[in-house]
């Protein structure tokens, strides 16, 4: 019998791609949304069953996971991930889930001081302990970040401000994350994946100057890279609508992790699981070029 697959975070950056690719594969998809709005209605129009539930409400999770066999667990960049992982694990265990693909981060390490990364470290263990077929994906920096981090100053001044000019890191197209998740969720042989911690990267290593050059190439104009102290960068990030206090604390520690080379690695996971090379940062920016234009 065909698996019923629950996608949480269904209206978010990676969840949308997971659903798009699962539908292309003819999977039986249920989407869990926090908010019923135009985005959830659009999912229904695509033929997706939509359930409204909150990660921190056990009864809602039980409803969302009813008769589900496999799931994508995507918790947003807010606090209380270990609690949500515990609630999710309990509801998933009650339904005997065989596979849960869970979002984590490439920079997960025991000594991290980022509250968000520590939460991922603990959530990975909670999902493993529950024995619900957990597979952990640990992606690099999302290309999506640059829409918020770079576009305001690129538009206003043709400049990109970023700390750690020497730091090297890889950037991933969120569609590659969605495709990896969808491939695992529809795999016939799930035992090959269960228990794995997959580092997902793009195919190139970047630094601030190289990022700036790619933005300039896509926009066909000169963009200047301006290295700034971390404190100045954090103050600027706090002004973005997507950056809450918790995320700001994470970004401060993340910049240290970046400087410690925690994102400085290219892996073959995207190629091995999807069968193609990772999409490039340039491809992503080209798709979202309008965000950088006045
Ligand atoms: N950005 C990066 O560079 C990066 C790198 C590696 C890993 N990550 C990890 O990626 C994750 C974020 O992924 P993403 O960008 O795909 O997420 P996202 O776009 O922020 O989407 C989050 C989704 O979760 C939903 N949601 C929020 N609060 C909820 C709640 N209480 N109950 C149920 N649903 C809720 C949101 O719905 P509403 O829109 O209705 O609120 C939205 O659909 C984080 O765990 C982060 O650590 C990010």
The DSSP call for residue 289 is G
Q: How confident is the model at residue 294 (pLDDT cuts 50, 70, 90)?
A: confident
71, β-bridge pairs: 6, 100
Neighbours of 294 (CB within 10 A): 4
> How far is CA 258 from each of CA 56, 168, 190, rounded to the nearest angstrom?
31, 7, 32
pTM of the model: 0.97
Q: Which helix (H) or strand (E) holds 155?
A: helix 145-157
Which tens digits make up the pLDDT trace of 179-237? 999 999 999 999 999 999 999 999 999 999 999 999 999 999 999 999 999 999 999 99
Sign of CA pseudo-dihedral 128, 131, 132, 134: positive
Burial degree of 154 (CB within 10 A; 0-12, 13-18, 19+): buried
Distance 259 CA to ligand 1 centre (A): 24
Residue indicated by tokens 């699962």? 22
C-alpha–C-alpha distance, residues 40 and 291, integer Å: 23
Is CATH 3.40.50.720 correct for 4-140+174-200?
yes
Report, as an integer, the average pLDDT of 44-60: 97
Domain edges within the chain: 4-140+174-200, 145-170+202-264+276-292
Which of 8, 11, 12, 141 gets mutated to test ligand 1 (max ligand atoms within 8 A of its CB)? Answer: 12
CATH superfamily of the 145-170+202-264+276-292 domain: NAD(P)-binding Rossmann-like Domain (3.40.50.720)
Atom of ligand 1 nearest to the CA of 104: 7
Fold match flag (4-140+174-200 vs 145-170+202-264+276-292): yes
Half-sphere exposure at residue 113, Cβ-oriented, CA atoms within 13 angstroms: 10
Ligand 1 contact, 15 CB (< 6 A) = yes
Ligand 1 contact, 103 CB (< 6 A) = yes
């Amino acid at each position: 019998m065909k698996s019923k697959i629950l996608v949480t975070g269904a209206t978010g950056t990676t969840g949308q791609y997971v659903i798009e690719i699962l539908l292309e594969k003819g999977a039986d998809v249920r989407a869990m949304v926090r908010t019923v709005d135009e985005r959830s209605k659009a999912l229904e129009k695509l033929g997706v069953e939509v359930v409204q539930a909150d990660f921190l409400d056990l009864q809602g999770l039980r409803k969302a996971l009813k008769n589900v066999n496999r799931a994508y667990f995507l918790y947003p960049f807010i606090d209380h991930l270990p609690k949500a992982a515990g609630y999710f694990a309990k509801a998933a265990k009650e339904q005997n889930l065989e596979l849960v693909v869970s979002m984590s981060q490439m920079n997960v390490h025991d000594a991290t001081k980022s509250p968000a990364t520590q939460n991922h470290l603990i959530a990975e263990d909670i999902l493993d302990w529950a024995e619900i077929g957990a597979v952990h994906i640990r992606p690099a920096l999302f290309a999506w970040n640059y829409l918020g981090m770079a576009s305001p100053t690129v538009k206003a001044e043709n400049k990109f401000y970023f700390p750690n000019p020497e730091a090297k890191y890889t950037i991933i197209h969120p569609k590659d994350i969605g495709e990896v998740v969808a491939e695992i969720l529809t795999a016939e042989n799930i035992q090959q994946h269960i228990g794995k911690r997959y580092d997902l990267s793009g195919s190139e290593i970047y630094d601030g100057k190289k990022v700036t050059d790619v933005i300039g190439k896509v926009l066909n104009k000169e963009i200047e890279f301006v290295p700034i102290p971390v404190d100045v960068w954090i103050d600027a990030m706090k002004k973005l609508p997507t950056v809450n206090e918790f995320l700001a604390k994470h970004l401060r520690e993340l910049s240290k992790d970046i400087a410690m080379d925690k994102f400085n690695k290219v892996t073959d996971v995207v190629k091995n699981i999807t069968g193609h090379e990772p999409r490039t940062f340039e491809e992503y920016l080209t798709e979202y070029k309008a965000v950088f234009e006045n």
